């Protein structure tokens, strides 16, 4: 990697994100010819693309080969996969290997989400050591939060180059994006959105990583709420909620499940769902007031 000042004080964590970066080009190239759905579903009941399964296999093989990584869990698997050799000092990884994979067919943005814990999974925000994501957009970029600092990289040929080593949310937010079908929104949440859309511009692409990256770049708020017939929402706490909350909070923003920080939550099950809201402090605070 070409900028040592953006590495962390955790050698295994650095090795994890260097491995994710080196694997990212193969994941991106593998999307060609893997745009079809498989017959099965993932543990959350969603159809899996060939690309989902392939990315999951690539990351599992590469990351479990690292010394100091004790286990691997992903959104595409029922259970945690443990390394052949383990110690009490090992880190434990939770990945969404291909966030927004439904965008493969329409050729829109996708990403990979990585969370590093120092406790066996499922673990909560208090056990999170680092979190990051890769965004497969016009460029391949990586954002990593560790030790309350957020760094952004460009990934070229599997190597990371630092763009910004102290990334923070802009103080003048401009964008918003919310998931779920509008008729399924609760009245309280719909009322909040009505206020937000008078102040910010709608930016919603259907891949959480792309939408969150917009918020980090331009400031604003992103969320997937609890719905009328699914109060727990759609996103997974372990694979999406906690790592994205850690990144946004480290960048000076705020996260919430509608009541409080996602980093204060611990999933009882590997694939537990939760409402997710992240963004500039004022907009997340207003959301919590609206949902009281």
- 1 falls in which pLDDT band (50, 70, 90)? very low
Write the CATH number for 214: 3.40.190.80
- Residue 261 among known ligand-binding residues: no
- Residue 102 among known ligand-binding residues: yes
Whether the per-residue pLDDT at 47 is higher than 90: the answer is no
**CA-CA distance, 256 to 279, in Å (whole number)?**
9
Give the pLDDT confidence score for residue 104 in this predicted structure: 76
**CA-CA distance, 87 to 246, in Å (whole number)?**
26
- Residue 240 among known ligand-binding residues: yes
Q: Tell me, yes or no, whether 34 and 155 share the same domain.
A: yes
Question: Looking at the domain assignment, is residue 21 inside a domain?
Answer: yes
Q: Tell me, yes or no, whether 108 and 189 share the same domain.
A: no
Whether the per-residue pLDDT at 32 is higher than 50: the answer is yes
Mean pLDDT over residues 81-109, rounded?
Answer: 89
> Among 8, 19, 13, which residue's Cα sits nearest to residue 160?
19
- 108 falls in which pLDDT band (50, 70, 90)? confident
- Residue 219 among known ligand-binding residues: no
Question: Looking at the domain assignment, is residue 126 inside a domain?
Answer: yes
Question: Looking at the domain assignment, is residue 109 inside a domain?
Answer: yes
Which is it for strands 175-178 and 201-202: parallel, antiparallel or unpaired?
Answer: parallel
Record the pTM: 0.93
Q: Tell me, yes or no, whether 127 and 208 share the same domain.
A: no
**Do 185 and 194 meet the contact criterion of CB atoms below 8 Å apart?**
no
Whether the per-residue pLDDT at 92 is higher than 60: the answer is yes
Mean pLDDT over residues 255-273, rounded?
Answer: 98
**What is the count of structural domains for the chain?**
2
Q: Tell me, yes or no, whether 183 and 144 share the same domain.
A: no
- Residue 78 among known ligand-binding residues: no
Give the pLDDT confidence score for residue 49 in this predicted structure: 75
1 contact partners, CB below 8 Å, separation of at least 6: 7, 18, 21, 159, 160, 161
Whether the per-residue pLDDT at 135 is higher than 60: the answer is yes
**CA-CA distance, 72 to 111, in Å (whole number)?**
18
Q: Tell me, yes or no, whether 125 and 213 share the same domain.
A: no
What does the block give as tokens for 85?
Answer: 């050799």
- Residue 237 among known ligand-binding residues: no
Q: Tell me, yes or no, whether 126 and 28 share the same domain.
A: yes
Q: Tell me, yes or no, whether 28 and 72 share the same domain.
A: yes
Question: Looking at the domain assignment, is residue 13 inside a domain?
Answer: yes
Write the CATH number for 65: 3.30.540.10
**Do 265 and 125 meet the contact criterion of CB atoms below 8 Å apart?**
yes
Question: Looking at the domain assignment, is residue 170 inside a domain?
Answer: no
Give the pLDDT confidence score for residue 103 in this predicted structure: 78
Cα→Cα distances 169→24, 66, 219, 252, 281, Å: 25, 33, 6, 6, 10
Mean pLDDT over residues 229-240, rounded?
Answer: 96
If one counts every other C-beta atom within 10 angstroms of the C-beta of residue 4, the result is 8
Question: Looking at the domain assignment, is residue 169 inside a domain?
Answer: no
Give the pLDDT confidence score for residue 89 in this predicted structure: 94
Give the pLDDT confidence score for residue 43 in this predicted structure: 64
Q: Tell me, yes or no, whether 98 and 214 share the same domain.
A: no
Q: What backbone phi and psi angles, to 5 degrees, belong to 276?
A: -135, 125
- 232 falls in which pLDDT band (50, 70, 90)? very high
- Residue 87 among known ligand-binding residues: no
Which tops the pLDDT comparison, 52 or 239? 239
pLDDT digits (tens, 9 = 90+) for 184-215: 999 999 999 999 999 999 999 888 999 999 99
Mean model confidence pLDDT for the chain:
92
Q: Tell me, yes or no, whether 200 and 157 share the same domain.
A: no
Question: Looking at the domain assignment, is residue 197 inside a domain?
Answer: yes
Question: Looking at the domain assignment, is residue 74 inside a domain?
Answer: yes
Any alpha helices (H) in the chain, and if so which ranges?
11-30, 50-64, 187-196, 208-218, 242-250, 281-291
- 34 falls in which pLDDT band (50, 70, 90)? low
Identify the weakest region by mean pLDDT among 84-88, 92-96, 171-175, 259-263.
84-88
Domain stop point among 164, 183, 211: 164
**Do 276 and 257 meet the contact criterion of CB atoms below 8 Å apart?**
yes
- Residue 224 among known ligand-binding residues: no
Q: Tell me, yes or no, whether 115 and 218 share the same domain.
A: no
Cα→Cα distances 19→73, 105, 118, 161, 174, Å: 16, 27, 18, 14, 34
Q: Tell me, yes or no, whether 49 and 152 share the same domain.
A: yes
Q: Tell me, yes or no, whether 117 and 209 share the same domain.
A: no
- 70 falls in which pLDDT band (50, 70, 90)? very high
Q: What proportion of the chain, given as a percentage, has pLDDT over 90? A: 82
Q: What backbone phi and psi angles, to 5 degrees, belong to 170?
A: -60, 145
Domain residues for 233? 175-291
Domain stop point among 106, 131, 164: 164
């Amino acid at each position: 990697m070409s900028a040592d000042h953006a590495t962390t004080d955790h050698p295994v964590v650095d090795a994890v994100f260097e491995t994710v970066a080196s694997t990212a080009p193969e994941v991106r190239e593998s999307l060609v010819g893997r745009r079809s759905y498989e017959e099965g579903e993932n543990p959350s009941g969603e159809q899996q693309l060939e690309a989902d399964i392939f990315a999951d296999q690539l990351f599992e093989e590469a990351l479990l080969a690292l010394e100091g990584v004790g286990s691997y869990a992903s959104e595409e698997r029922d259970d945690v996969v443990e390394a052949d050799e383990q110690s009490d000092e090992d880190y434990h990884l939770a990945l969404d290997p291909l966030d927004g994979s439904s965008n493969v067919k329409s050729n829109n943005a996708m990403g990979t989400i990585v969370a590093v814990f120092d406790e066996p999974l499922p673990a909560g925000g208090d056990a999170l050591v680092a979190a990051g994501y890769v965004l497969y957009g016009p460029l391949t970029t990586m954002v990593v939060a560790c030790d309350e600092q957020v760094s952004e990289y460009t990934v070229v040929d599997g190597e990371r180059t630092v763009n910004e080593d102290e990334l923070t949310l802009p103080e003048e937010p401009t964008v918003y994006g919310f998931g779920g079908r509008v008729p399924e929104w609760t009245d309280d949440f719909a009322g909040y959105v009505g206020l937000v859309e008078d102040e910010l511009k709608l930016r919603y692409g259907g891949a959480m990583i792309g939408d969150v990256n917009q918020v980090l770049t331009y400031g604003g708020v992103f969320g997937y709420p609890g719905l009328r017939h699914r109060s727990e929402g759609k996103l997974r706490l372990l694979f999406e909620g906690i790592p994205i909350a850690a990144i946004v909070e480290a960048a000076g923003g705020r996260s919430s499940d509608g009541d409080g920080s996602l980093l204060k939550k611990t999933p009882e099950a590997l694939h537990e769902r939760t409402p997710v809201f992240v963004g500039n402090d004022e907009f997340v605070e207003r959301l919590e007031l609206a949902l009281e």
